[in-house]
Structure 1
């Protein structure tokens, strides 16, 4: 943290120098202005012009071109014009070159105070303190999980409005079995960040297991609220799969878990759900090998050159196979990232989202590939998309069908 403040001080030095710079130049500027005013001959030129015009008026009167009344009128106009020109040339006396220099230190102090106050209000000092604590504990070979939790709890007391502190505490409470503290942490996060679907899903899962794997009315309300905002939220779908499995509804469990895998980013969690799917298939009397063999599609996905660089490499790409009539749920779904393209993926019955809709049920499929910056399974404006219709479904090791991502969803 000391290095940070030293860096801020180094940045403030040029700003303070710019405040002092006008004073250093003030003497030279004042001398130049005095020279300009001393050598100014504008007033003399105005008087000479007045005298020439007055002489012309007198000559015109003597020749009889104008009468005395017209002469007096024009002479008064000349005098008025001369007075106005002279008035405009009047200058206020120059102040001393050092005038106002006492105000500069005051302004410098105010700049420093305002900068520090602004950073404390809008800066990331709290995040840096949190990061420093985490790095310090992790680099200590004698540090322990309770020590990390204690240090983070101290940070939570110092900066209770920082959601990142509570985000760091939640998994530590959860994984160490401190359910009440984990629940309170999620509740605090909901207060700070609003009722976001992923927070509601985590709270629903925590209370589901705390209730002994029972879908209580309180947990059901959280599940319903989450699905209303994010129908593909993987944590809640995984929870519903567990509940269906516990109730012996293995087809529903498989359906929920496959949908959860489609929106899941953690490969370890996805593999755990695949294991659960295999167990559910065995309970149904279907061997996993039989369920995942047979008809399939190999899909070669490419991004059009004109769209390259439009989204980060970590952006999610959904590869989806659907029936030609569009009457069934997706027959197969897999998820990759833009950085992996170009890529050839294999879709088969193991990638189905529901037991009643699988690739082996159709002879032709429609392939839809969508790049989703939001990571949502439902299309959003700005998504990139590619499509290919009437692709024959054959052996999973057949020739790949090429799909080019070449247009933007409006």
Structure 2
């Protein structure tokens, strides 16, 4: 690895880079990738027990013996990779089995796997709409959906966060006029931890004959029967064109998928570039995801347990006067506002062996820098009490 302070020459066509880095540093927006010796909600390092509230292993499955055993078996049977794209020779029985299981779990007829949640958005949105069409997107949708919308080159219309009235107004202002319209929302928002008003949004989609795509990345495994997500929990699968999700959060692995109609699946197999032109997801990850689905089938209350812990933890913070927005989930933001103060608090907590993420623009809007707390089932009641006390002391003037 080349050190930032090495004598490696700067090429003349790279002179534009340093001013951007300097500006980010001046605004306290420099990002770094810090290596840690382990993953999960608890990190054991140098004799210390570090509480990690910055990851997404919500159900503590990434190190579960059942997932590891299934992944190991798949490695021994199929090798380390799929070795080809799905439409060449990369489709394994595991791909089809996992797609069937995901579809069943989500209450859809079919599902289609992608390499990641990000690739799922990039591979679906540009093939649902094009430059003649319209996209109506919640202002706080994830970057992968924004990038998918930009690739589609459709007219992008943003509506106020979780505001069906504003969405209704914008749908009225921008009629279809013979073109397609697509609504993009998350069922659980990753930076605010709040829940979308899905019944109202699905009703508007039906009234205006618009397609609806719901990102369930952070709700899957936590909400709904056997962790199926909020769309299934609210019996809205038949009213939602497609849902997308990831295998990298509650499922403890890696990969992405959509659940949809057979017609849409067939269409995307013919058109979706991030499905067609890339190697298929590796067998070990498929097997691990199948094991996670088995565990959710056998112990369907895992998500409920996590939400109960999150409710108590959030109440503790709120009673101390901390601003947790409208969080109703395992994701709990603490609004700080100033970028430097958010970084300083996160660094102070790190010295106490508590890892939290300082989230700053452009991930969140200007002036809303925050600490983002992600609870997992690895965190005990004593861990949560310790963390709450430390957070309150650090965030209270």
TM-score grouping bracket, smaller chain normalisation: under 0.3
Structure number with larger C-alpha Rg: 1
Larger RCO (alpha carbons 8 Å, 6+ apart):
2
Greater percentage in helix? 1
Give the alignment's TM-score, normalised by structure 1.
0.23
